[in-house]
Structure 1
Amino acid sequence: MRILLSLIVLLIGTSAAFADDGKTLLSAKVLWELERAGAPVVSPNGEMVVVPLTSYDEDNESETRLWLLANDGTGARRPITAQGSAASSPVFSPAGDQLAFISKRDKDEAGQIYLLPTAGPGEASKLTDVPTGVSALRWEGEYLYFISSVWPQHSWEEMADRLKAEKEDHISAFTWSEMPYSFFDHYLNEDRENHLFRIPAAGGEVEPVTEPLGLALMPAGTGAGDYDVSPDGKHLAFVTTSTPGAVYSNGDVFLVELGNKKARNLTSDNPANDYSPMFSPDGQQLAFARQRIVGFYGDQAKLMTYSLADGDMQMHQEGWDYGVSGLVWAPDGTGFYGTIDDQATRRVYRIPLDGSTPSPITKENDYGALSMAENGVLVAQRQSALHPVRIGTVNTQSGNFNRLDAFNDEVMAAVDAGSYESVTYKGHDGADIQMWVHYPPGFNPRKEYPLMMLIHGGPHGAISDNFHYRWNAQTFASWGYVTAWPNFHGSSGFGQDFVDSINPDWITKPYADVMAAADFLAEKAFIDEDRMVAAGGSYGGYLSSIILGKEHPFKALVIHAAVYDLYAQMSADFAVNMERFGPYWENPEIYREQSPHYYAESFKTPSLIIHGQNDLRVPVGQGFELYRTLQTKGVESRLVYYPDENHWILSRANSLHWYGEVRDWVSKFAEPGGK
């Protein structure tokens, strides 16, 4: 009987993925056939858009090329970087006649700046030879600015020698005497600092910008959004921590007149993070985002402006119950456009500075990566659950989207991805909870289908109407499951009170919301309540571990990158912070109530445990501890361990394996398909 069951599962996992109409299903394999479009960059005159496009092959290799899309009505589009030469971070020159980008070519040991004429044809020319590599490009005036992780007070030659010595001495140790020591999937070198540099676009010597100030940029996760240069090239704004070495760093915005060796901290009065500085088109104002709760990433970001003329500082839209993100200045300097989490969508909003209420200019789907031309042409990414990222312009009056690319059209035309809808049900204490419900291709409401309940991470994030590669709900639906993804209490985009409602109690409301979602769907004639499973990652894995020890209707669980022991989470790069539970030695009772390992006595549901070795957000020991607990208790369980993956499963081969493991597990306990 066991052999027969294994054979059935094997056939389920490997059978041809075709819909009844002969089209291909949206399988995991199809996900990896799709090309992934990065953030678009529009030229100053709005006539050209450059997009990084990444493709993957069956050998687990990826390649990113830059594509030039015409915004002149011709529909012209072409790759402008050669195959075999990865390219990223494109920026236009102020005149729009050249493009700078980062590439690692020929004998480059690290990524360098290359220049390419936009008119074409032409070969890319190398501008830098920085041994520590470059990142986070900006082109302002005559200079290209970039960030590099360097040893302070060392010449480039000395740094090259040091890099060579590190390769040859075979010492792998890291040492630390302060925080932070890690970020997401890698450990930080305490001897190195992130600094800003610039080089004339015409060629010349690299000039340090922040090192002479005695201030480094943030120690981890730095990018082009961490600094800006005024349009006249006279001022620099950048983000650094005013509390170096602290357990919880406080990002502050500093302003300096270039050439001056003393920078001013503009935000010293705010103990929480200030970030994303942006000069206005006329250079007279500096905008940035502000949070007000220390160490709490779920705090709504508010829009701030600082006047360079008189030092006036203002907070805008303080009473608006949304957080600002993805901001770009309007060309006339009267406001911004931003991509705002809004009721399980991400919409483009107009955010004025005159005190009037921000208003959405798009209605559905998920928008991101805004880029604004000097003449007001607004370019964005747009995606939905049924289509990967598209690139186009957004009409700032009507919100109409004019698509410029044709990426993935051929692949998606052959796919039957099924359908989906947004529903609202009653959750904890009768609150309205939004949920995405995805239906299999060929869905027949007169049949009964199994349910796969997905539990999102965060918890202070949301499932938007977007195309998810790592947890694609339509792929799960293509296996024959109605797939549901609720935005439970704590999710963003539904107001700050909704976010705050689960702190410090991470369990009660989200658990109740998920159970209510299962009850809501079980009442539908097309759901077989005897074939229900649930799956979650990160916080979703944490809540799945809680569900494991409580009453629930699920026949099996998939628990990915789960926090199982809150005490042990102190070792993570993003540890349990003061705003949630406080330190465990001060609030042991909260940890006992909120930590899944205290519910182990009630564990009995078959569970698939998944974890990556390089996960520093939720260290891998969490997964091993949960698996050993289940095995010790005799609960049917399986551990999938990836020695080369982090919090996410990112390589093609491992991703296909991950989807296969999940499919085999849920199929074993909840047979797929309508009956």
Structure 2
Amino acid sequence: MVTTPFDALDDYIALPRVEAVAVAPDGARAVLTVATLTKDATGYERSLWEVPATGDGTPRRLTRSAKGEAGAAFLPSGDLLFVSARPDVEAADGEDAGQLWLLPAAGGEARPVTRLAGGVSGIAGVAEAAERLVLAAGLLPSAETLEDDARLRAERTKRKVSAILHDTYPVRHWDHDLGPDEPHLLSLDLDGLDDTLAAVADEEAAAEGADDLGADADRPEPYPASLPRPRDLTPHPGRTGENAGTALTPDGTTLVAALLVSTGLDGRYRLVSIDVATGAHTVLRDESGVDLTAPAISHDGTTLAYVRSVKSTPAAPTAQELWVSSIDGSSPRRIAAEWDRWPSGIQFDHDDRALIVTADSDGRGPVFRIGLDDGAVDQITHDDFTYTDVHVDRRTGDLVALRSSWIAAPHPVRIARDGAVTVLATPAPAPEVPGTITEVETTAADGARVRGWLLLPQGAAAETPAPLLLWIHGGPLNSWNAWSWRWNPNLAVARGYAVLLPDPALSTGYGLDFIARGWNSWGAAPFTDLMSITDVVEARPDIDETRTAAMGGSFGGYMANWVAGHTDRFRAIVTHASLWALDQFAGTTDHAGYWQSIFTPEAMLENSPHRAVADIRTPLLVIHGDRDYRVPIGESLRLWAELMEHHGNDDGTTEHRFLYFPDENHWVLKPQHAVVWYDTVFAFLGEHLRGDAPTRPAGLG
């Protein structure tokens, strides 16, 4: 039997991973962000690699530091920008916040470009025709200047204060606390950026002059004179500094940002134009009850594209519409109004006559070209892959992107105008997978087509049918259409399981009506769709219908809980980061307003899995991380308590299991914990589907 890296978890987590791609202005070279396992196998470090964007040549490593590099972007000159917490020899000892660095195209060492006390969050935009960019960074609310921010942070550190005072909502997001700093957008001019001895000497003289005046704890230390000074484009933003996309005009004079307008528990995004020279804000588009997001600007700087979404209500989901206008927001119009897909990325084609758009579609993630004049939708790619990180080559109109599927990890490719795909060189080639993939589908009772992917292990046949694992995706507005390093079915396939990855009602890529089938009623069509497609797969001769299990995380965990209370057809169920009591959950999640806007109170109760706890007949493996703020740990704590109350043995034991991670989040990301996660899941499945003896995986005592 052929062995693959998926046969051993230690081999799997050690696989290098391509996470992002950036393309040089001349279109001739691309830079990949590659993550590799640290020596102690408890994290990943990232480095930048250059590869030819034409399909030939070999990868060349550009960066190497213990702290790693990410967020790569090119300046018009070809110089490469990235964010790293690598040591800056001119900074004070102990400063380890991520800063912006520049690697010259002409060669030489990378040099720091910022020295912000709180570091740089990322690059929000780079001008195509000017040495100007916009950064995202956090500044403390009382800070009037960069120097104030440094002083206030030093004071908090000295006094060991970690408390955060809020006067807005929310206070948490996914896996991290919001605050005490607020999100800002800072412009940065790099014209004339030089390493000169004179600049360093001036900075040292200024520091010596400050020392001569005597120590003053209230006097801020000056921002380095040898570095370009960032200009704050969003002073005192509160939470409104959060954005849902930014775009910088080619000349770098104007930033268009989708900025948050807070409205109690909820909010909306509006489009704001910011004059980079003066910082003046002009509202371009703002509609009550509507989100305006993902701005993109044409290469000639005259046209703005964006996504318009009317807020959903419990009555129905709403479309994500493509709109274009003049750069000043005038003459807005919708394009491709009949195209029933949700854009996941938009940018202008090389000649500004069309938009290049990615979207989920029928279990894939193709690239589309949509004409601005006629709104005609041309699907460029027609394979079984999902494309992300798409970049336009301004010279040729070709595209450079990452693509993946469930049998191919993300890898860089070049897409010609006619859709022909050329695989580019990579230091992290896609690993060989242990089985095969096939498409399956059924017709639901209401006539809807329900499809999914079925991964089969080697040797699955009528004589040796494979046990089946129904794996339900999260979201719920999601699709099983792209590789995931965290939720990887190939690990189960390598252990002899067939894995069904279905897209039930609420899944994206099938149109608004398909989503609406499960809206405000998660326990209805999504559940029956899952059971219907499982019926079809179980009828296959290469599947053992007597040995089946179900599992899922987040919304998939919700569905796993719902399945547990409404059928006993499965031998085991794994429920990760799951919603259990919807009435309780709505007020404890990090964004309560959203959940209150998509459910009626009646439906929230009717569709809550906890109401069927007494009917559960299947062993459950409950998994949760305490740093999960999207689905707080209270969901699994209540689930576990109620399982024990209704199904615990008299001696206090139970056939159910609870795997708890005190320092993990919604996904459980640390490599060593991912190993424990899979070891525990496979031990649980082996016990109930294969009759294996109960085991306690290594590391759990």
The normalised TM-score by structure 1 is: 0.90
- Residue in 1 aligned with 2:618? 605
Residue 530 (str. 1) matches residue 546 (str. 2): yes
In structure 1, the residue corresponding to 2:606 is in which secondary structure?
helix
In structure 2, the residue corresponding to 1:668 is in which secondary structure?
helix
- Residue in 2 aligned with 1:8? none
- Residue in 1 aligned with 2:255? 236
Alpha-carbon separation, structure 1, partners of 2:192 and 2:662: 45
| Equivalence map 1:487-566=2 (5 Å) | 487-566=503-582
The letter for the 2-side match of 1:61 is G
The letter for the 2-side match of 1:112 is Q
Residues 22 and 661 (structure 1 numbering): CA distance in 2 closer, same or farther, change over 3 Å?
A: closer
For residues 18-47 of structure 1, what are the alpha-carbon distances to aligned partners after superposition, in whole Å with 9 as ceiling and x for unaligned?
xx1355545433331211112211111101
- Residue in 2 aligned with 1:11? none
| Equivalence map 1:423-442=2 (5 Å) | 423-442=440-459
The letter for the 1-side match of 2:497 is Y
Alpha-carbon separation, structure 2, partners of 1:509 and 1:581: 15
- Residue in 1 aligned with 2:122? 136
Q: Displacement of 1:247 after TM fit?
A: 1.1
Alpha-carbon separation, structure 2, partners of 1:217 and 1:136: 17
- Residue in 2 aligned with 1:254? 272
Alpha-carbon separation, structure 2, partners of 1:562 and 1:171: 33
In structure 2, the residue corresponding to 1:633 is in which secondary structure?
helix
Residues 309 and 316 (structure 1 numbering): CA distance in 2 closer, same or farther, change over 3 Å?
A: same
**Which residue, 62, 68, 89 being the options, matches 2:44?**
62
Q: Displacement of 1:320 after TM fit?
A: 1.1
In structure 1, the residue corresponding to 2:376 is in which secondary structure?
coil
For residues 406-450 of structure 1, what are the alpha-carbon distances to aligned partners after superposition, in whole Å with 9 as ceiling and x for unaligned?
3333x82xx452101111112343421101101012333432221
Residues 85 and 538 (structure 1 numbering): CA distance in 2 closer, same or farther, change over 3 Å?
A: closer
Alpha-carbon separation, structure 2, partners of 1:219 and 1:444: 56
**Which residue, 298, 302, 307 being the options, matches 1:284?**
302
Unaligned runs of 5+ in 1: 1-19
- Residue in 1 aligned with 2:325? 306
**Contact 1:563–1:622 (CA under 8 A) maintained in structure 2:** yes
Residues 61 and 536 (structure 1 numbering): CA distance in 2 closer, same or farther, change over 3 Å?
A: closer
| Equivalence map 1:208-219=2 (5 Å) | 208-211=231-234, 215=237, 218=240
- Residue in 2 aligned with 1:379? 400
Q: Displacement of 1:405 after TM fit?
A: 2.1
**Contact 1:393–1:402 (CA under 8 A) maintained in structure 2:** yes
Q: Quick one: percent identity of the two aligned structures? A: 27
- Residue in 1 aligned with 2:152? 162
**Which residue, 187, 198, 201 being the options, matches 1:197?**
187
**Contact 1:272–1:294 (CA under 8 A) maintained in structure 2:** no
Residue 626 (str. 1) matches residue 644 (str. 2): no
- Residue in 2 aligned with 1:178? 168
**Contact 1:351–1:357 (CA under 8 A) maintained in structure 2:** yes
In structure 2, the residue corresponding to 1:547 is in which secondary structure?
helix
- Residue in 2 aligned with 1:396? 417
Q: Displacement of 1:127 after TM fit?
A: 1.4
- Residue in 2 aligned with 1:326? 345
**Contact 1:390–1:407 (CA under 8 A) maintained in structure 2:** no
Q: Displacement of 1:149 after TM fit?
A: 0.8
Alpha-carbon separation, structure 2, partners of 1:24 and 1:87: 26
The letter for the 1-side match of 2:60 is R
**Contact 1:327–1:336 (CA under 8 A) maintained in structure 2:** yes
| Equivalence map 1:648-663=2 (5 Å) | 648-663=667-682
Residues 171 and 209 (structure 1 numbering): CA distance in 2 closer, same or farther, change over 3 Å?
A: closer
**Contact 1:218–1:251 (CA under 8 A) maintained in structure 2:** no
For residues 133-181 of structure 1, what are the alpha-carbon distances to aligned partners after superposition, in whole Å with 9 as ceiling and x for unaligned?
1133233212232111112443222222222222232333333232111
642-651 or 22-31: which moved more?
A: 22-31
**Contact 2:253–2:275 (CA under 8 A) maintained in structure 1:** yes
- Residue in 2 aligned with 1:457? 474
**Contact 1:291–1:300 (CA under 8 A) maintained in structure 2:** yes
273-282 or 285-294: which moved more?
A: 285-294
Q: Displacement of 1:276 after TM fit?
A: 1.5
Residue 104 (str. 1) matches residue 85 (str. 2): yes
The letter for the 1-side match of 2:435 is G
Residues 235 and 489 (structure 1 numbering): CA distance in 2 closer, same or farther, change over 3 Å?
A: same
The letter for the 2-side match of 1:405 is A
| Equivalence map 1:38-53=2 (5 Å) | 38-53=19-34
**Contact 1:150–1:195 (CA under 8 A) maintained in structure 2:** no
**Which residue, 568, 591, 594 being the options, matches 2:604?**
591
| Equivalence map 1:342-361=2 (5 Å) | 342-361=361-380
**Contact 2:133–2:252 (CA under 8 A) maintained in structure 1:** no
The letter for the 2-side match of 1:39 is A
**Contact 1:298–1:460 (CA under 8 A) maintained in structure 2:** no
**Contact 2:624–2:660 (CA under 8 A) maintained in structure 1:** yes
Residue 78 (str. 1) matches residue 64 (str. 2): no
The letter for the 2-side match of 1:149 is G
Unaligned runs of 5+ in 2: 88-92, 194-226, 649-654, 693-701
Q: Displacement of 1:215 after TM fit?
A: 4.8
- Residue in 2 aligned with 1:293? 311
Residues 178 and 308 (structure 1 numbering): CA distance in 2 closer, same or farther, change over 3 Å?
A: closer
For residues 352-410 of structure 1, what are the alpha-carbon distances to aligned partners after superposition, in whole Å with 9 as ceiling and x for unaligned?
1122421211112111110112212310001121121111211121x12111123333x
Residue 614 (str. 1) matches residue 627 (str. 2): yes
The letter for the 2-side match of 1:479 is R
Alpha-carbon separation, structure 2, partners of 1:270 and 1:94: 38
**Which residue, 405, 409, 415 being the options, matches 2:425?**
405
435-444 or 262-271: which moved more?
A: 262-271
Alpha-carbon separation, structure 2, partners of 1:24 and 1:102: 31
- Residue in 2 aligned with 1:148? 137
Residues 250 and 609 (structure 1 numbering): CA distance in 2 closer, same or farther, change over 3 Å?
A: same
For residues 239-296 of structure 1, what are the alpha-carbon distances to aligned partners after superposition, in whole Å with 9 as ceiling and x for unaligned?
2123x35211101110133334542222212522111111111001111111112579
Alpha-carbon separation, structure 1, partners of 2:312 and 2:531: 32
For residues 99-143 of structure 1, what are the alpha-carbon distances to aligned partners after superposition, in whole Å with 9 as ceiling and x for unaligned?
1111112254311111112343x2111111111111332332122
The normalised TM-score by structure 2 is: 0.87
- Residue in 2 aligned with 1:366? 386
The letter for the 2-side match of 1:278 is A
The letter for the 1-side match of 2:28 is E
- Residue in 1 aligned with 2:201? none
Alpha-carbon separation, structure 2, partners of 1:23 and 1:309: 55
The letter for the 1-side match of 2:297 is F
Alpha-carbon separation, structure 2, partners of 1:360 and 1:631: 52
Residues 404 and 158 (structure 1 numbering): CA distance in 2 closer, same or farther, change over 3 Å?
A: same
**Contact 2:407–2:433 (CA under 8 A) maintained in structure 1:** no
169-178 or 348-357: which moved more?
A: 169-178
The letter for the 2-side match of 1:86 is G
Runs of 4+ in structure 1 displaced over 6 angstroms? 295-298
RMSD: 2.2
- Residue in 2 aligned with 1:264? 282
- Residue in 1 aligned with 2:15? 34
**Contact 2:386–2:403 (CA under 8 A) maintained in structure 1:** yes
Residues 76 and 607 (structure 1 numbering): CA distance in 2 closer, same or farther, change over 3 Å?
A: same
- Residue in 2 aligned with 1:93? 75
- Residue in 1 aligned with 2:690? 671
Equivalenced residue count is: 637
**Contact 2:184–2:232 (CA under 8 A) maintained in structure 1:** no
Alpha-carbon separation, structure 1, partners of 2:568 and 2:485: 28
**Contact 2:471–2:552 (CA under 8 A) maintained in structure 1:** yes
In structure 2, the residue corresponding to 1:115 is in which secondary structure?
strand
